[in-house]
């Protein structure tokens, strides 16, 4: 029995030694040195910036690279939402990036970028796109923020209290932005300068130069956009010297147009 157990132990040690030797051989073999670093999906920053963020160097053996660690490094970049990394035999590493898609700026005293999922993902900086609809009238408690931002140490305390309360005003603003993303939208997001949120009267949009405000209220936004399309076409076709300054669509069955005095 003793000799049998000793034999098993020796065999295990021998197998372990082979595995260690094989691992060292593979991770140090020149054949598997990274010669190709392929990066897809990055639009806001260059391949060079991605490689620097990942702390990845050409010539590194692809099997010695800790893919999980590289993924974590890349996810610390505020613009990166998802990362997928894979080895490409015999000498390549492929990184696929999914960036946050910024659709609006939330003005909460400080300004933050909001993605297409309705999450704050970073504070607005001078390098970020500034030509986005600005949402005003919100409270911190209205906003959903990305999980990673919630867990970042310096931001955690200030953002934990934002969540899961009074989301209706913000959801209303996001519904308007989603309609504005449609190709045939009468009020595309690129024309929207500001979305004002009022808890009592709902959403007011500031977009066109001559029409100062479009009052949408709450709910039935798709129907209200259809009505707005008809109103704008009617205004275009009628012969009047007075320009509309306000269109009230709170009731989606009718529109109230205020003309310039």
Domain locations in the chain as residue ranges: 2-99, 102-259
What pLDDT band is residue 53 in, cutting at 50, 70 and 90?
Answer: very high
pLDDT greater than 60 at residue 226: yes
Kind and range of the H or E run holding 71: helix 67-75
pLDDT greater than 50 at residue 62: yes
102-259: which CATH number, 2.60.120, 3.40.50, 1.10.3470, 3.30.160? 3.40.50
Q: Is the dihedral of CA 120, 126, 129, 135 positive or negative?
A: positive
pLDDT greater than 50 at residue 22: no
- Are the CB atoms for 235 and 244 separated by under 8 Å? yes
Strands 92-99 and 36-40: parallel
> Distance between CA 10 and CA 18 in Å, rounded?
12
Written as one string, the DSSP assignment of 185-249 is -SS-GGG--EEEEETTTEEEEE--SS--EEEEESS-HHHHHHHHHHHHHHHHHS--SPPEEEEE-
Per-residue CA distances from 138 to 51, 106, 124 (Å)? 38, 8, 16
pTM of the model: 0.77
Written as one string, the DSSP assignment of 122-134 is EE--TTS---SPE
Class of domain 2-99 (CATH, top level): alpha beta
pLDDT one-digit tens code per residue, 128-153: 877 899 999 998 888 766 545 544 54
Among the listed ranges 12-26, 58-72, 151-165, 197-211, which one has the minimum average pLDDT value? 151-165
Q: In sequence order, which residues have a C-beta less than 8 Å from that of residue 70 and are 6 or more positions away? A: 54, 55, 56, 83, 85, 95
User: What pLDDT is attached to residue 35?
Assistant: 84
Supply 237's token pair: 């076709």
Average pLDDT over residues 1-9: 54
User: What pLDDT is attached to residue 163?
Assistant: 38
Average pLDDT over residues 197-226: 92
pLDDT greater than 90 at residue 82: yes
């Amino acid at each position: 029995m003793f000799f049998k157990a000793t034999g098993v132990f020796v065999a295990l040690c021998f197998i372990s030694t082979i595995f260690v030797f094989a691992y060292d051989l593979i991770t140090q073999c020149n054949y598997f040195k990274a010669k190709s670093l392929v990066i897809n999906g990055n639009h806001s920053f260059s391949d060079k910036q991605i490689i620097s963020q990942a702390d990845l160097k050409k010539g590194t053996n692809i099997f010695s690279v800790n893919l999980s660690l590289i993924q974590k490094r890349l996810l610390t970049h505020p613009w990166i939402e998802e990362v997928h990394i894979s080895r490409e035999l015999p000498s390549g590493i492929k990184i696929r990036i999914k960036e946050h898609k910024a659709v609006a700026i939330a003005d909460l005293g400080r300004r933050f970028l909001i993605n297409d999922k309705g999450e704050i993902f970073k504070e607005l900086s001078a390098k970020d796109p500034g030509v986005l609809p600005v949402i005003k009238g919100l409270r911190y408690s209205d906003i959903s923020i990305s999980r990673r931002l919630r867990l970042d140490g310096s931001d955690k305390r200030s953002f934990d209290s934002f969540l899961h309360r009074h989301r209706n005003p913000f959801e209303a603003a996001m519904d308007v932005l989603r309609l504005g993303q449609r190709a045939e939208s009468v009020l595309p997001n690129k024309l929207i300068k500001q979305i004002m949120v009022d808890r009592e009267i709902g959403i007011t949009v500031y977009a066109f130069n001559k029409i100062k405000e479009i009052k949408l209220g709450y709910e039935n936004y798709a129907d209200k956009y259809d009505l707005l399309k008809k109103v704008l076409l009617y205004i275009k076709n009628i012969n009047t010297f007075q320009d509309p300054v306000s269109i009230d669509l709170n009731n989606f069955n009718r529109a109230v147009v205020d003309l310039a005095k």
